[in-house]
Chain A
Amino acid sequence: MALYFFTPFIAIILTILGGGIIFYILGFNPIESLKFYFITPISNLYGFSELLLKATPLCLIAIGLSFCFKSNNWNIGAEGQLTFGAIVGGGVALLFYNQEGFYILPLVIIAGAIGGMFFALIPAILKTYFNTNEILVSLMLVYVSKLLLDYLVVGPWSNPEGFNFPETRQFSDSSRMPLLFEGLRIHAGIFLALAAVMLSWFILYKTYLGFQIKVSGLSLKTAKYAGFKGKTMILVVFMISGACAGLAGVGEIAGPIGQLHRMISPDYGFTAIIVAFLGRLNPFGIIFASLVVALTYLGAETAQIFLQIPKYTGQVFQGMILFFLLASDYLLFFKVKILNLKKNELRH
């Protein structure tokens, strides 16, 4: 069992080694490249704050996803829930454009969470009452929400003074996340992520609901036999997951972006799936995993700035982490046995 929590570290070490080999093959000095990749980005306060900024949405979404994944519900559409949460939250922010009031930001945040929750309920309801496949439905809804966002920023919500460019107005300060430090972009959204971590730990490990979730994850039949209300549980985990993704979306638009446009998320909703598994679906593991994955984004930028290493290596690193994690899991749970077959035995 200890090994189960140790394999993510093995995966990360293998990724770093694999990355070094790739850099070497590409003709870069591997040690120097890795230094620019994993150390330079966070070698000063600004870099570290950017790491936290980048990790915040990943952590929030992954926490939500852990509820779904633990109970064997495959919500692949966190990106869509993030987008829809951002749309609803952004709509509220635009509604209160140029208005003052301490209540506006909380309203924006709550609206975002409700938006994400609503959007996650669609695959959940279809799964519970119509037996559809939640993987497909949640994934397809990603495109629905992105097209809706496209429509809104091009059409009805576009900035009236913006020459028809596909973006809304900049939100007023009253609906922006307060900054934690002058001159840094890190904002109050990080407290939402930390609160989600604490809350999810409490729910998963200290409540009856958490127990139900875990049991259904381990064996659906056992859960049914124990008399757990399967349908309600599916709805609840999807709602939690959607709310977290919606919060992540609001954190981005009310935080560093400050408006709605077509590029509010560089696929955080999908990357968070890697984060959730790298963190072993454990709330504290997810904090760690979100920092590691966020670093691959920042590292890709610094590596291109300083060494002109193609930026796509960031995605290669993310892919390698997941690959090595799955591979180490496989080797952990299955024993490799080399069969000593004779030649003629093989023919049969």
Chain B
Amino acid sequence: MYKNFFRYLISAIFLLGFSVNSNADFKVGFVYVGPTGDHGWTFQHHEGRNAVEAAGIKTTFVESVPEGADAERVIRQLAQSGHDLIFTTSFGYMDPTNKVAKDFPNVKFEHATGYKREHSNVSTYSARFYEGRTLLGHIAGKMTKTNTIGYIASFPIPEVIRGINAMTLAAQKVNPNIKTKIVWVFTWYDPGKEAEAAQALIDQGADVIMQHTDSTAPVQTAEKAGVWSFGQASDMQRFAPKSILTSIIDDWAPYYVERAIAARDGTWNQQDTWHGLKEGMVAMGPYNSAMGADLVKEVEQLQKDLASGKVHSFTGPIYDQKGNILVAEGKVADDGMLAGMSVYVKGVEGDIPK
């Protein structure tokens, strides 16, 4: 992969003892919540950064920045040291990003997954990961023998609940007897906890596992137990080659390159971006041949239809757990409803933790 090659090239340049010229004209800064080698969330943002570098724009990153008092200092330091555009890639950076943006009106800020744009130089962006979940649901509904899908969830925020619902709805469409079992781990990254949760779900009869957390532990646990699984955030196939059916891939690269070029050329403006399969911010990993050629064809068609807008992940009728109607027949859920989603759809077991 030339992306990886590029990364090694950069490291090699540093190893030779060259240093970044801190007075370069246009620079983009990235703040990561995890290490670049997490093979999940931060890894994908780092791939996006590599693409910006490959486009000929100088970049800087700071990894493993805690979402506490340190975040504001790191963001401010990037702004002070001549960075013109700064991507802050975790929800917990929302308030610090807005605070620093107020003091640096000439620097542009892009905050991932947040909802606060308090100043005109702050944009927010996120991906419609739920479209990927719809594909996973379709596959899981077809592949399960026990009619039980295990789901490892991080925090009961709308984004996670949206994923659970989208997956369940799609699975029900192909298999009405489906049940979704959920374990909340209350962390984004904790391989130990994620592995335990996966094992617990497998013990409860789930033969398809998916997760809304960042580590590769769930897919590795599934591989060992001989059940199906899906990669999350990045293509995790090499960690569980037999078990993984496909992966939801966060591809930030096109967006990062586009925004960096816009900021450099002076065409950047404030936005709230929510891109999906159509724009390529959500992509799918290779489909496992164990799915069978027919199912692969079906899923590829569904992927195309989701991208073109012919099919929407949340098409009525949709009922909540008690049987009340959420989305009427023939209607689709609007973005406002999706953004604030806080109830399970019918077929999901248990309650949302409060």
Interface residues of A (CB under 8 A from B): 26-29, 32, 46, 50, 53, 150, 154-155, 163-167, 170, 183, 185, 252, 255-258, 261-266, 297-298, 301-302, 304-308, 310-312
A165, chain B: closest CB distance, angstroms? 5
Partner of A304, one of B62, B80, B92, B155: B62
Q: Is the CB of A263 within 8 A of B64?
A: no
Residue among A163, A265, A306 with the highest chain B CB neighbour number at 10 A: A163
Residue among B14, B20, B73, B354 with the highest chain A CB neighbour number at 10 A: B73
Bound: A193/B186 CA distance, A:
34
B63 within 8 A of A: yes
Q: Is the CB of B64 within 8 A of A312?
A: yes
Partner of A263, one of B20, B77, B81, B92: B92
Residue among B19, B29, B76, B78 with the highest chain A CB neighbour number at 10 A: B19
The proximity string for B residues 75-92 relative to A, scoring 1 for CB distances below 8 Å and 0 otherwise, is 011101100000000011
Which residues from B are CB-within-8-Å of A163? 115, 157-158, 340, 342
Which residues from A are CB-within-8-Å of B19? 28-29, 32, 306-307
| Known contacts A154-B186, A185-B72, A307-B20, A164 near B155 by CB under 8 Å | yes
Which residues from A are CB-within-8-Å of B186? 150, 154, 166
Interface residues of B (CB under 8 A from A): 14-17, 19-20, 22, 29, 60-70, 72-74, 76-78, 80-81, 91-92, 95, 103, 115, 155-158, 186, 340, 342, 353-354
Partner of A265, one of B14, B68, B92, B340: B68
15 A-B pairs with CB atoms under 8 Å apart are: A165-B91, A166-B155, A185-B72, A266-B68, A298-B73, A301-B65, A301-B70, A301-B77, A302-B77, A304-B61, A304-B63, A305-B29, A306-B22, A311-B64, A311-B65
Which residues from A are CB-within-8-Å of B156? 154, 164
| Known contacts A170-B95, A311-B64, A164 near B342 by CB under 8 Å | yes
Residue among A26, A257, A298 with the highest chain B CB neighbour number at 10 A: A257
Bound: A252/B74 CA distance, A:
17
Which residues from A are CB-within-8-Å of B91? 165
Q: Is the CB of B14 within 8 A of A305?
A: no
* Nearest-CB residue, chain B, relative to A147: B186
In order of increasing CB-CB distance, the 5 nearest A-B pairs are A256-B69, A27-B15, A263-B68, A263-B67, A266-B66
B183, chain A: closest CB distance, angstroms? 15
Q: Is the CB of B157 within 8 A of A305?
A: no
Which residues from B are CB-within-8-Å of A255? 69
A40, chain B: closest CB distance, angstroms? 9
Bound: A302/B20 CA distance, A:
13
Bound: A154/B153 CA distance, A:
13
A36, chain B: closest CB distance, angstroms? 9
